Amino acid sequence: MKTEIKTNQKQAILITGASTGIGYATALYLDKKGYKVFASVRKEADKLKLIHAASSNLTTVMMDVCDEEAVNKAYQQIITETEGFTFSLVNNAGVSLNGPLEILPFADIKMLMNVNVCGLLSVTKTFLPLIRNTKGRIVNISSGHGLLAIPDKSVYAASKFAVQAISDSLRVELKPFGVNVSNIVVGKINTNVLDKILDDRKKMINQAKPETAKLYSTQMEYFDREVKSLPGIEAVEVAKVIADSISNAKPKAQYLVGPGAKKMKMLARFPQAMRDNMLYKAIYK
């Protein structure tokens, strides 16, 4: 039986990509903290899972961030239910894509950019009037790959560098209106995403020309080993940082969450030639 929670803060928050992982953990964590949570999902099954796990104060929103009509519909729904609330946005929806550029299907590249960059921009632009008028906050979920681009991650890194750029720009652009913007840089999370990454890798290799895939086999095998050996953290640990970025009177511009993110931040400080040489030797030793 679910525990009913009285809202103890006049804070409303929309979390995109709340069906699994960070988004799901954050929706439940903030719901327990008494925030009025709007959790966006794309599937009915994910909606029902959230409803079962959360309090009656949480509202699920059927929204694909790439569907402009769905985003506008969600805005009209939420604006009528948040009168008197400070409204904040957590841009969490995103997908991952790994592999050498030469063997990545271009349809997958376009899909990733559409979700990770265009979707984030669409949702943010649509909800900005509500955020601005209530002096809410924007929290963008990024990755260590938004600090340092490495082989096998060219497309994903491009999208996360874009998220960092958007955060940096909006932080000053919206400062006159009292809107804070934070970028959460996340390392490896202990979810089933790793299994999906490895499954997608196999499909990508099977679809590529064998002679081309073979050219990059050493590189791909190295990064598959690396991602398996990296220490991970639980998604709820990210949720706690997101909560701090929303509630703190002086939120940070950037939060590093997990050892993976901190490692990427450190490596990004190395001189480029040294860093490139280190990566090359690590892969092809």
- Check residue 144 and report its DSSP letter: G
Question: How does pLDDT run across 117-159, given as a tens digit for each residue?
Answer: 999 999 999 999 999 999 999 999 999 999 999 999 999 999 9
Active site includes 284? no
Q: Residue 168 domain-assigned?
A: yes
72 falls within a domain: yes
User: In angstroms, how far apart are the furthest CA atoms of the chain?
Assistant: 61
> Residue 178 CB: number of other CB atoms within 10 A?
11
> What is the value of pTM for the model shown?
0.93
Average pLDDT of the chain to the nearest whole number:
93
Is residue 3 in some structural domain? no
Count of CB atoms within 10 A of residue 175's CB? Answer: 11
Is there a contact between 98 and 223 (Cβ–Cβ < 8 Å)? yes
Of 53, 22, 23, 20, whose CA–CA distance to 38 is shortest? Answer: 23
CB 130 within 8 A of CB 79: yes
Starting at the edge strand that comes first in sequence, how are the strands of the sheet with 36-41 ordered?
A: 59-62, 36-41, 11-15, 86-91, 137-143, 180-186, 254-257
pLDDT of 219 reads 93
Whether the per-residue pLDDT at 7 is higher than 60: the answer is: no
Domain count, the chain: 1
| Alpha-carbon span 42 to 181, nearest angstrom | 26
Could you say which of 35, 156, 216, 255 is catalytic? 156
Q: Is residue 6 part of a domain?
A: no
Domain assignment of residue 4, yes or no: no
Q: Is residue 5 part of a domain?
A: no
Tell me the residue range of the domain where 207 lies: 11-284
Q: Which of 14, 30, 21 is nearest to 247 (CA)?
A: 30
How far apart (Å, rounded) are the C-alpha atoms in residues 36 and 14? 9
Q: Which residues pair with 254 in a beta bridge?
A: 183
Q: Kindly state whether residue 1 falls inside one of the protein's structural domains.
A: no
Question: Which of 169-173, 206-210, 231-235 is most confident?
Answer: 169-173
- Please identify which residue in the block is written with the tokens 């560098």: 161
DSSP state of 115: I
CATH number at residue 268: 3.40.50.720
Angle at 128 between CA 172 and CA 189, to 5 degrees: 80
In a domain, 184, yes or no: yes
Q: pLDDT tens digits, residue range 16-39?
A: 999 999 999 999 999 999 999 999
